[in-house]
Structure 1
Amino acid sequence: MTKPPARSAKPALSKKAGDGPKKRSGLKLALLVLAPLVLAGGGYAGWMLLAGAEAGAVARAADGEGGQGKDAMQVSSISAELAAETSFTHTYALSVLIAPRCGVANAPALKAASDAEAHADGMLATLSWQSAARRAAATTEKSCTFLRQEVTEGELRAMELAQKNGKTAAAH
């Protein structure tokens, strides 16, 4: 029998640039990590500069004409929608609009206070009726109790205000 030929040793691997896994350079990784941070920081800084300028303009406007002090209307005003939903006109409008479904509410002091508000500020009265109409449109039999209670509390507040101002309201 003949012997099989001996296997030759494997040749040594040559290390070429194309062989083996590719490695990313540390510089490229650092740029990929830092680029979003720099962009976000720049955006935030720009936003702060613009917001700061706007806040300064509001502060100058609140100083009043010629630096004569704070403008009370600028400082203490609330939005018209909020004022409309907390007015006597809104409560009176609710009492009128829920009457077919929940029953008629006798609220003479509320009506008088509503008329006074409407005389003083017609836009407030219009917004109040609009917001009351939105609320009344969603009225169910279950919500009648809550709305009637709100109308009753509004009537009591209107009576207290009338007594405080020296005007007597008709009792209900």
Structure 2
Amino acid sequence: YTTNSWEAFAEALKAAQQVLDNKNATQQDVDTALSALQDAISKLEAATEPKPNPEPGVVDKAALNATINKAAAINLGLYTDDSANALRAALKKAREVSDNSNATQKQVDAAREALEKAIAGLVKRPAAKGDGNVVSNTGSDVATIALAGLLLAGAGAAIAYRRNREQL
């Protein structure tokens, strides 16, 4: 990848990891980091300068490993099960080829191409009905929120009652 696009991706990945490690991160922090990371992934640009041919008998796995890293950074929860499973399978095969010290350049190139196809074939999940919930899906307990609301309402009623008694 070009230096600029890779640096932008690396920064977005680092920021996303910091949000992931932050136990106090809000849902908005997570959404922002995810959006920035996906944007950086989509803007990765292949390097246009030709790479030197490796020595005869030497297999160049750099492009395959870069594509593996790109695929591993994708949040598959945002995509349909079929397209995510296709990417998982291609990623598994690509990792096997990358780890194989006896892999040929032809096998490496085929694994990279299959992984690129799987990435391109990802299909976003349709938005589920009812996604406009007021309470976010961050693990907040609805009962706790309802109890807090009741306590606030009770406190307001107690204050109003006290003021009315003082005015009499």
TM-score (norm 2): 0.23
Larger Rg, first or second structure (1 or 2): 1
